[in-house]
Structure formats: C-alpha cells, structure tokens
Amino acid sequence: LLDLPPERENLFWASLALTHRTQPRERLSPFFKKMPVRAIPVQDLSGDWYRVVSDWYHYAILEMANLPAFNPDPSWIASQLGISPAESKLAIERLVRLDLLVRKDGKLSRSAGQMSTADQHLTNSALKRRQRQILEKSMASLENDPIETRNHTAMTMSIDPKRIPEAKALIREFNRRMSDLLESGDRTCVYEFAISLFPVLKNRGEV
C-alpha cells in the first residue's frame, strides 16, 4: 500500500494513529479506534536514518553512485562535494548500514532500497534541517557557479491561499517530469533541484 518495508510501514501507521488519537473520540475514524498505539522508537531517526535524511550529502553520494566515473574513495567523494573526508567516510558507512549502498569487491553501488520520508511525525525536523542546507547550497551556487550551469528564478504573486493544495500538487507533478527529463540521458553530474513557495506578509490573513 505504502511501498515501504514492513517495519517502516508499521511505524508510519503507529505515528498516524497517535496523531489521530488527539481528536475527540466521536470524530475518530473506526480504523484508528481499533489500532493499538505503540511507542515510537526514538532511535529510528535519531541515529543513522536521521543523519541520512537531514544532511544533504547523503543524497548526493547515492546519486554519485550512478555516475560512470564514480570513485568510492571517501577522499575523492569529499573533494567532489566540498565536505571533509571524515564526513564522507561516515556517510558511506551509514548508507551501507542502511542497505542503501552495497560494498562489493572494493566497489560501491546503489542497492534496490529506497529512502522514505512519508512519516512526517518522525522526519519533520530532519527535513527542515536538510532544506536549510539546500538553501545554503543554492546561495553558494548563485555566487560561484556560471549562469550557464545553473538556474535561479523567482516570482512574487498575490494569491488565493485556498489554492495552495492545488499548487503543491502541480509542484509534485513538475518535480516528477523534471526528474524524468534530466535522468533520461547520459548522467555525468549531480544536481539539486529545489522549489520554494512561501508567504512574504507578516499578517497571514486578508489585507
């Protein structure tokens, strides 16, 4: 149903049940009334998973493993990403422990495993940390990368806030289409693609 490993799916439903139990019982869905609520193990994202979700370079290393010129040496990876060799080495070890990377005969390759951030109860702080890092990387690219290799655009609009859910759906579809386009050719580089939509007024109500 959720395309998650069994243990992750169970954790997702437990988290969702816990959230719904905060509603008045008469408004609670029968599905969640019957579901036992178990404690959510903090270690699920407090260790390896939290770091993988929250630090941008884990995603980048996974994508680098798709490149023909990929070198599994932590120092080489560090030089390509602008991180320390220690950060690179620890990131590789986490990805291997979580079965997202496979080490065989001195080589590293991506496994069939996938990261999932469907459980917002668990991943909210990690995702916010990663988004802050992505914005910092975007600012650095704006200052340092030639215009031919990047794109930074922005548009200010007066909007109907009730249409935000439709906008988010369009953004998700656009993300999928952009991924299909850029990953269909010869992959020789790793890029970050980010879209932001946020209010600029301090008063969120009507003006």
pLDDT per position as a tens digit, 71-86: 999 999 999 999 999 9
CB atoms within 10 A of CB 113: 14
Kindly list the domain boundaries of the chain, sorted by start residue. Answer: 1-40
Q: What is the largest CA-CA distance in the chain?
A: 64
> What does the mean pLDDT of the chain come to?
81
Summarize pLDDT for 171-205 with one digit per residue, the tens: 999 999 999 999 999 999 999 999 999 999 987 65
Q: What is the pLDDT of residue 117?
A: 54
**How buried is residue 141: exposed, middle or buried, by Cβ count under 10 Å (0-12/13-18/19+)?**
middle
Joined tokens for residue 64 = 């680098």
Q: What is the pLDDT of residue 72?
A: 95
Among the residue ranges 58-62, 127-131, 146-150, the one predicted with the least confidence is 127-131
The model's pTM is 0.71
Alpha helices in 21-98 (DSSP H): 30-34, 43-46, 48-54, 56-64, 74-81, 85-97
Where does the pLDDT of residue 93 fall: very low under 50, low under 70, confident under 90, or very high at 90 and above?
very high
